[in-house]
Amino acid sequence: MENAVVLREWFDRVDAAGTGNITAPQLQSALAVGNLDFPLSVVQQMTRMYDFDRNGTMSFEEFLALNKFLQKVQGVFSTLERGRGFLSLEDVYEALIKLGFSLDSPAFYTVCESFDKSKKGMVRLDEFISICIFVQSARYAQHVSDVLFNVSQYTAVGHLLLCN
């Protein structure tokens, strides 16, 4: 309960205008204060993932859902970084599996290459979170397209049955 109060206070400080919502740039600035430096594109992706009412901003409840995801990702990162401050690529692969993500080798290495700013195979927390946001978004997009594809198949079969 105390955590929710702290998060509410944090959210209200970020929502300086008192609208009850925060924008991606506001979230980006607030995360940067906590040493989580994300490109705006990644923060916009975070916002889209948890913007359940699709109004382009994040309410406190939506922020709580994002925070829960970020806490889970940070927890897995912490268990594998062993005081180094980064994950090796092997650690990243293990961490993604622990988070319920599964990528084939080519996709995994492409994603890691895209988000590993130093190109040394040492993935920092903000880079790892970016990877997780990307993979989660891709999973959601695939789920939506699978559902749409299945609806299309159902519609096509229904059309064939009705026309014959």
Q: Are 115 and 130 in contact (CB under 8 A)?
A: yes
| pLDDT of 126 | 93
| Cα–Cα dist 47/133, whole Å | 10
Burial class (CB in 10 A: 0-12, 13-18, 19+), 46: buried
pLDDT averaged per 10 residues in sequence order, the chain, 164 residues: 85 95 96 88 94 96 95 97 95 96 88 90 94 86 48 37 39
Residue 99's nearest CA partner among 66, 57, 64, 129 is: 129
Specify the pLDDT at position 2.
66
Give me the domains of the chain, ranges plus CATH numbers. Answer: 2-163 (1.10.238.10)
Beta bridge partners of 14: none
Under DSSP, is residue 140 helix (H, G, I), strand (E, B) or coil? helix
Confidence at residue 158, expressed as pLDDT on a 0 to 100 scale: 36
**How far is the C-alpha of 46 from the C-alpha of 122, rounded, in Å?**
23
Instruction: Give the whole-angstrom CA distance, residue 82 versus residue 68.
Output: 22
pLDDT in the model for residue 159? 34
pLDDT for the residue 141: 66
